[in-house]
Amino acid sequence: MNIVSLVLLAGLRDLSRNRWIVAYALCFLGIAEGLFWFGGTGPQVLLSLLNLVLLVLPLVALVFGTIHVYASREFVELLLAQPVPRRQLFAGLYLGLALPLAGAFVVGAGVPFVVHAHDGATLGGVAALLAAGVGLSLAFAAIATWIALRTDDRLKGVGIALGVWLASTVIYDGLVLGATAAFGDYPLERPLLALMLANPVDVARVLVLTQLDVSALMGYTGALFQHTFGTALGTGVAGATLVVWCVVPLALAGRRFLRRDF
Amino acid sequence: MTLPVALGPMLLSLMVVAPKPAADLTVGPGGHFATITAALAAAQPGDRVLVRAGTYREATLVVRTPRVTVQGEGWPVLDGQGAREVLVIAADDVTVRGLVATNTGVSNLEDRAGIRAKDVRNCVIEHNRLRDNLWGIYLQRSADCVVRDNDIEAHGERQTTSGNGIHLWYSPGARIERNHIRGHRDGIYFEFSQHGVTRDNVSERSQRYGLHFMFSDSCSYVHNTFRENTSGVAVMYSRGVVISGNRFERSWGSAAYGLLLKDISGGEISSNTFDRNSTGLFVEGSSRLEVRGNTFTQNGWAAKVLADADENRFTGNRFSGNAFDVTTNSRSANSTFDGNWWDAYAGYDLNKDGVGDTAFHPVRLFALVVEQHPAALLLLRSPLVAVLDAAERVLPVLTPETLVDHHPLMRPPR
């Protein structure tokens, strides 16, 4: 068995012993199931979950991720004392964080839709929501890893993580809205589309919107929106952007990990 | 048609001699006449012209005898050969039934119709099939006609080279029932035609409107389905209109409305369903409308009520799953919303009377932002937008303060 899977397994064992990740999965399960329970139809549950995914997922991935990386520091130092390639150790460290996060979300949010398969949620909508959630988990886990490796001070690290969360979920959209109002006289659709790609939370939101709010998007600006993101190519571009948002912070974190003096 | 012609005139002379009792004039294989034209020329008031199965390519058929029934047996096809109108009713009390009228061809100079009623009363056009005609059924200055159970389909490519499925022009008192219309420019069009009843029709995939009427007062539209029409349904410049129990579905596009009301006054819009339209109900310049008991689901904009619409009352409607429930274009609102059910309502009901204790503001701040800056729609369902909307709901600054539902229902009506 190679080092990646060993460290990954260690991480998984660590996290599964950690009640937080179980609680996290149960939380999604409870909310999704509860929404169906209280008379929500498939599309309504999807929309409610979308809000949760956009707010809670990045928050958990960032805060939990940084704390996890700080907590595994001693474990990492112990392993580094052995003849273990750093690259593999890093891969194991990241996957041991990201996979449980993404997995807990998929199980928690996905199972109720399987149970209530006949409640009108379209396959495309559910798939988009799950894909967006997994993408966000992986991307923000990578960002969290990077933050934790850059900052030695734990408090500062968690503070930065919270700042990143606030910026990507609320502040960024506020700036976009401000820009829209300020430059309202210009044709803004295409620049705005580019701006949406620059924030993983927006990419995830747009990915789900094209599957859910079809009727609003079929008119007005939505036409361009739908043309851009609703097609297979657009979905591909959005998906690829999420991948970029995983790969770039991960590469930065990995570089940091390789060069760092523990 | 080359079948027995010889027998025809003989029988005809017999029938002409026989006095009043209505006769059957049979056209086609084994019948008295080879052509419908000949049969129509021979018909006396009250006669039936029975057209047997086959394809008939004749000059435009004109029914000039009152109380005649033209009836197809086995769906005879009346072919306009792409060059002319197919059948014209030019006498009172005529019934046309069981025919297939097809292929009038496109003309820019004349309004060719599959079946036209011209300056008559009490015509009945029922159980016909109309295929690929410029206009389907055209009532022109014809009063009290009945058009029912017809199946009308066209495949026009553009609005400019296509006519309407059922067209009424100065034709009061018409009953349009149980027709199925596909692919015309407007499915059903009323112009200057009062007191009509349109009921149980299905109008879909029209190139423009599923239903369009102008200057047609006191008409009612009940239990129809309008589906996937390019621009939805538009009704304009009429008074006393009743639109009830209809379904408006999947009208998608920047200028598509489930139901567009322009300058309609004193009418009733009740128990309709607006499902998955870009804009469900659009109200402009209309007044004193009772909008009640309708269901708005999964529309982009459930109801757009412009500021020039006044004294409209929205009561007992259900709003669920819409991106925007209500929008308007001004801070002053002259229409009232009272006792509706909103899925976005988050209030409470302490005395358990089924009515929420806090008022509901259906106009979201974000809706106004999008109204002014359409591009901002990209931020739909962003957490930021939710925060802004929540803040605005607590303390309305920009949204119309008078546009409030003071008695939001806790449960959907019915």
- B367 pLDDT tier (thresholds 50, 70, 90): confident
Global confidence as pTM: 0.83
The alpha carbon of residue B94 is apart from the nearest alpha carbon of chain A, in Å, by 45
DSSP state of B374: G
In A, minimum Cα distance to B386 occurs at A51
Q: The dihedral of CA A73, A75, A76, A78: what is its sign?
A: positive
Q: Is the complex ipTM higher than 0.90?
A: no
pLDDT, residue B132, reads 93
pLDDT in tens, B143-201: 999 999 999 999 877 777 789 999 999 999 999 999 999 999 999 999 999 999 999 99
Count chain A–chain B contacts defined by CB atoms under 8 A: 115
DSSP state of A227: H
Of B253, B379, B383, Cβ closest to residue A176:
B379
- B202 pLDDT tier (thresholds 50, 70, 90): very high
pLDDT, residue A233, reads 75
Side-chain-facing half-sphere of B302: CA atoms under 13 Å: 26
pLDDT, residue B389, reads 85
- B39 pLDDT tier (thresholds 50, 70, 90): very high
pLDDT, residue B364, reads 87
Please identify which residue in the block is written with the tokens 């990990």.
A257
Query: Mean pLDDT over residues B22-30, rounded?
Result: 89
Q: Which of A113-127, A172-186, B66-80, B108-122 has the lowest mean pLDDT?
A: A113-127
- Using DSSP, state whether A26 is helix, strand or coil: helix
d(CA B133, CA B140): 17
Residue A10 near residue A96 (C-beta atoms within 8 A): yes
Amino acid at B28: G
pLDDT, residue A112, reads 85
Nearest to A107 by CA among A177, A179, A203, A30: A30
Which stretches does DSSP call E strand in B12-169?
A: 24-27, 48-51, 55-56, 61-63, 69-72, 77-79, 87-89, 95-97, 100-102, 113-118, 124-126, 129-131, 135-140, 146-148, 151-153, 166-169
The more confident residue out of B382 and A217 is B382
- A17 pLDDT tier (thresholds 50, 70, 90): low
The more confident residue out of A150 and B255 is A150
The CA-atom distances, in angstroms, between B403 and each of A152, B92, B218, B364, B397 are 54, 52, 29, 11, 12
- Using DSSP, state whether B233 is helix, strand or coil: strand
Q: For chain B, what are the domain ranges?
A: 260-414
pLDDT in tens, B84-143: 999 999 999 999 999 999 999 888 888 899 999 999 999 999 999 999 999 999 999 999
Task: Count H helices and E strands in chain B, helices first.
Answer: 4, 39
Residue B400 near residue B306 (C-beta atoms within 8 A): no
Looking at the predicted structure, is the pLDDT value of residue A48 above 60? yes
Query: Mean pLDDT over residues A218-234, rounded?
Result: 64
Residue B150 near residue B179 (C-beta atoms within 8 A): yes
Which stretches does DSSP call E strand in B252-348?
A: 257-265, 268-270, 273-275, 279-284, 290-292, 295-297, 301-305, 313-315, 318-320, 324-327, 336-338, 341-342
pLDDT, residue B373, reads 84
pLDDT in tens, A126-158: 888 899 999 999 999 999 999 999 998 999 999
Nearest to A53 by CA among A27, A76, A78: A27
Nearest to B243 by CA among B285, B298, B192, B280: B280
Looking at the predicted structure, is the pLDDT value of residue B267 above 50? yes
Residue B343 near residue B320 (C-beta atoms within 8 A): yes
Mean of per-residue pLDDT scores for chain B? 89
pLDDT in tens, B314-357: 999 999 888 899 998 877 778 899 999 998 888 899 989 999 99
Query: Mean pLDDT over residues A66-84, rounded?
Result: 87
Q: Show which residues on chain B lie within 8 Å of chain A, measured between beta carbons.
A: 252-256, 276-279, 298-301, 320-321, 323-324, 343, 369-370, 372-387
Looking at the predicted structure, is the pLDDT value of residue A160 above 90? yes
- B2 pLDDT tier (thresholds 50, 70, 90): very low
Residue B304 near residue B282 (C-beta atoms within 8 A): yes
Give rounded-to-5 percent helix, strand, coil for chain B: 10, 35, 50
d(CA B101, CA B85): 9
pLDDT, residue A220, reads 55
Residue B281 near residue B301 (C-beta atoms within 8 A): no
d(CA B385, CA A175): 12
pLDDT in tens, B403-412: 899 999 999 9
Are B381 and A50 an interchain contact pair (Cβ–Cβ within 8 Å)? yes
Q: Show which residues on chain A lie within 8 Å of chain B, measured between beta carbons.
A: 41, 43-44, 47, 50-51, 54-55, 169-171, 173-174, 176-177, 180-181, 184, 188-189, 192-193, 196, 202, 205-206, 209, 213-223, 225
Residues in chain B closer than 8 A to A57 (CB atoms): none
Looking at the predicted structure, is the pLDDT value of residue B42 above 60? yes
pLDDT, residue A121, reads 66
Are A221 and B301 an interchain contact pair (Cβ–Cβ within 8 Å)? no
pLDDT, residue A226, reads 64
Are B378 and A225 an interchain contact pair (Cβ–Cβ within 8 Å)? yes
d(CA A157, CA A160): 5
d(CA B23, CA B69): 10
Are B377 and A188 an interchain contact pair (Cβ–Cβ within 8 Å)? no
d(CA B269, CA B301): 17
d(CA B164, CA B227): 16
DSSP state of B124: E
Nearest to B154 by CA among B216, B211, B196, B203: B203
Q: Which two tokens stand for residue A52?
A: 């949760």
d(CA B166, CA B35): 27
Mutate to test the interface with B, among A52, A215, A227 (most CBs of B within 10 A): A215
pLDDT, residue A229, reads 65
pLDDT, residue A225, reads 64
d(CA B412, CA B398): 28
DSSP A164-207: HHHIIIIIHHHHHHHHHHHTTTS--HHHHHHHHHTSHHHHHHHH
Looking at the predicted structure, is the pLDDT value of residue B10 above 60? no
Q: The dihedral of CA A137, A142, A145, A147: what is its sign?
A: negative
Residue B401 near residue B331 (C-beta atoms within 8 A): yes
Mean of per-residue pLDDT scores for chain A? 84
B127: left (phi over 0), alpha (psi -120 to 50) or beta: left
- A223 pLDDT tier (thresholds 50, 70, 90): low
- Helices marked H in chain A: 3-17, 19-37, 42-71, 73-80, 86-115, 123-150, 154-166, 172-182, 189-197, 200-212, 214-217, 222-229, 232-259
Range B325-364 burial, b when 16+ CB lie within 10 A, else e? bbbbeebebbbbbebbbbbbbeeeeeeeeeebeeebbbbb
d(CA B61, CA A74): 97
Backbone angles phi, psi at A169, to 5 degrees: -90, -40
Residue B157 near residue B187 (C-beta atoms within 8 A): no
- A221 pLDDT tier (thresholds 50, 70, 90): low
pLDDT, residue B157, reads 73
DSSP B138-186: EEES-BS-EEES-EEE---SSGGG---SEEEES-TT-EEES-EEESSSS
Looking at the predicted structure, is the pLDDT value of residue B13 above 70? no
Are B300 and A202 an interchain contact pair (Cβ–Cβ within 8 Å)? no
The more confident residue out of A192 and A42 is A192
